[in-house]
Amino acid sequence: MDIEQNRKRDWNIMKAEKGLNILARMLLILFVISATILPVLTTKAQEPEYDGYYSRFILHNAIALAFIVIILFRALIRRKFKKNFLVGVLLLLVVYIGYNVLYYQNMDIIQFPWAQYNTAISLGLLIVLMATETQTIFCDDKLIKIIIAIILITNLIGIYVYYQGYLSMHMYNFKLYFHPFEFADYYERRFNWIYFYKCQYSCILLLFVGFFVAHKDKFLNIIVYFLSLAVLFVCLYIAHTNTSMIGAGLIVAADLVDEFFKDHKFIIAKITAVAAAAVVGIKYVLKWLSGERNLSTMGSRMPIWRAAVEKIKANPQGIGNRFVLNRDDWFHFDNFNTNNCHNIFLNEMLRYSIPVGCCYAAFFIVTAIYSLIKKFSFSRLATWLAFFLAVSMDYSVQTPELSMVMFMLYCIFFYPLEKNN
């Protein structure tokens, strides 16, 4: 009797798990579609100015939260969590708890709980994906192929929209906004697509390049793979973001180096050839950049960072809702003004306090180091270097796209290792 009851219980658990896997897979597809194809649907207090800085309800984060609940419930009924990323999960969990506790304790100054809600969902998504089995949800890489298709579709649509004369389109407070070329705020056309600023779009594109490189075996053939990369590079070009363009090139070049060194024959000659190519490439990039930006100030970043550090020292508890909205807290220079630190970690410190900003930076640093310890390759290292370069030079990751950034980091650095195990 007990044996029969156990069999029936196990059968019911298997049926429930199968249903939860299907539901989780559907939610992930909806999440990726919402985060990449639909205009970023969010609600906010200010309209239309400073829309990206004070996002409240975000559609794809709501979907991500539902996904988190489903896969945690699935893991609990099976009483089974992944062990191969246990150390990384525990380290990130400590940082995650520290971030949320410190943010909550400083709420009187910050006065914007929505940022904590959305950040908690986004960072939690990476931890939960690392802690739970996902191979059945990804359905033997079928989901990876679907995500590749979604990425290509959204960016091909984006290229079409750009050549129809639009820089971006957004959806906030349930209204759709198109921004034609004539409303450009800068001296150059900067394509944002469905994101609020070009640096955000470019950073996502950078991770898409890393994603394509990490899963190049999922493409139909090598020609389709390189054509797909070409689509992303066209988008980077019309976004006019030099940092991300260089970073994307670095990722692809590093992957070629990995392929070059698979065969250990003639290793000295190969090292010499790669070193020579690197010197020529760096020289060409520096010459190109010098015509685009003032390299002595890193495109005016050096004075911004110095001013930001001084302002952070003067406001160690953060400035909360004064961030961006109060022009007295902007950075004023002789020939330009800027409303943020042009660095995501400095922005977190200025906006939410030094301890909160340090926890935020630690989350990314721990993820990077742990992923490279688990498996090292030149392309994995290059993806992290390119990402950190992008987020150090501008406010490239804000609340609306953070969950997609976390999902891409998992797909690039951890899912391939789970599959191999």
Note the pLDDT tens digit of each residue in 74-88: 888 877 788 899 999
Q: Per-residue pLDDT tens for 12-42?
A: 667 778 888 899 999 999 999 999 987 666 7
146 burial (CB, 10 Å; 0-12 / 13-18 / 19+) is: middle
**pTM of the full structure:** 0.92
What is the C-alpha separation between 9 and 94, in angstroms, rounded?
35
Amino acid, res. 166: Y
- Nearest Cα residue to 191 out of 214, 155, 166: 166
Q: Per-residue pLDDT tens for 162-190?
A: 999 998 887 777 777 788 876 655 556 78
What is the C-alpha separation between 169 and 193, in angstroms, rounded?
6
150 CB-side CA count, 13 A: 19
Query: For the chain, what is the mean pLDDT?
Result: 87
Q: What angle, rounded to 10 degrees, do the helices at 2-36 and 59-78 form? A: 160
299 burial (CB, 10 Å; 0-12 / 13-18 / 19+) is: middle
Q: What is the pLDDT of residue 39?
A: 64
**Residue 301 pLDDT grade (very low, low, confident, very high; cuts 50, 70, 90):** confident
Top mean pLDDT of 6-15, 47-56, 160-169, 358-367 is at: 358-367
Q: What is the pLDDT of residue 48?
A: 45
Amino acid, res. 226: F
3-state helix, strand, coil in the chain (%, to 5): 70, 5, 25
Token digits for 106? Answer: 């400083």
- Lookup result for tokens 């579709």: 153
Q: What is the DSSP letter of 281?
A: H
Pairing between β-strand 175-180 and β-strand 166-172 as defined by DSSP bridges: antiparallel
